[in-house]
Structure 1
């Protein structure tokens, strides 16, 4: 009797592996040669409940901070926590040129609320000159709100991914037990 054993942990892995680049592909990229030693570390490519949950935490935390070089910061965070590097780096694209103003304005409003300061309303036409003019007023609330929102979203995403992963594994175990009972009957 030839049974195909499919570990319950492979279900979430297969879904993620479909969209992730291979380490070999990235190592061949000339622009990434300086990171060759980092790209060769197998712990940064592992797909487990812990590594994926931590990757979401790192990627979303960095994405919600108004800092330059977010992808580099996410890669460093993934290296520090030994979590999935491609996921961490790709999640920073949550804040792209289209979503960035909305997300950072929300962070600013949260920071203004936490600091109990009146929030400035966005002008009808947002410009760099308006931002430069108001930066001294905006920056404390923006940084406070961004850090708080980043921590909350990072921790919630980690918890959510781990719970979804655990639910998928339990569902797979139940399905396999049901199939085993049906075969025995």
Structure 2
């Protein structure tokens, strides 16, 4: 029977299983001291809400390296690192086409431009990028800010509902 975890996965991601290992990444070494702060790893409602917001923001801003950017910003905003890293996975190679399509249509709507449906040609690639790039960029920025706000508010709301239900259950106990 073959190993269920491929060796390349183990090589690249096994080292990220403990908070101390984040400090070994070359891009994160300048933040090493801050990344080990306990509040970045605990499940507290404020840090989880911030982590969701940071992760969702960077998921739509960067096409690659989102987790590293989110982790770096978690140390600044005291956000939960695992939640932020998980939330960046909203956009991935399997879903990026959908998000770009949605961003383009959202950006065209925000800019008040009609959405167009022609494909790129070799001769007019720069024109095609200028026509579709700006609405897509505006749409991705709108998605980044909107999803960050919605993620923050959603976590706060779900956490509050959970606490309220727990209090009601305690009150009803004999």
* Superposition TM-score, scaled by structure 2 size: 0.76
Q: CA offsets per residue over residues 79-114 of structure 1, 9 Å max, x none? A: 221110111122111111010010111011110111
2:18 aligned to 19, 25, 44, which one?
A: 25
Partner residue in 2 for 1:85: 81
Q: More deviation in 60-69 or 148-157?
A: 60-69
In the alignment, does 2:96 pair up with 1:100?
Answer: yes
Over alpha carbons, which structure has the higher Rg?
Answer: 1
- Give the C-alpha shift of residue 151 in structure 1: 1.2
8 A contact 2:41–2:80 mirrored in 1: yes
1:109 aligned to 80, 105, 111, which one?
A: 105
8 A contact 2:19–2:36 mirrored in 1: no
In the alignment, does 2:157 pair up with 1:169?
Answer: no
Change beyond 3 A, Cα 1:30–1:157: closer
Partner residue in 2 for 1:3: none
Change beyond 3 A, Cα 1:31–1:177: same
Q: CA offsets per residue over residues 26-45 of structure 1, 9 Å max, x none? A: 42478537354233111211
Where relative contact order (Cα < 8 A, 6+ residues apart) is larger, the structure is: 1
Partner residue in 2 for 1:158: 152
Partners of 1:131 and 1:61 in 2: CA distance: 32
Partners of 2:170 and 2:113 in 1: CA distance: 56
Aligned residues: 156
Runs of 4+ in 1 over 6 A off after TM superposition: 127-131
1:55 aligned to 40, 51, 58, which one?
A: 51
Change beyond 3 A, Cα 1:69–1:28: closer
* Superposition TM-score, scaled by structure 1 size: 0.72
The alignment partner of 2:61 has SS state of coil
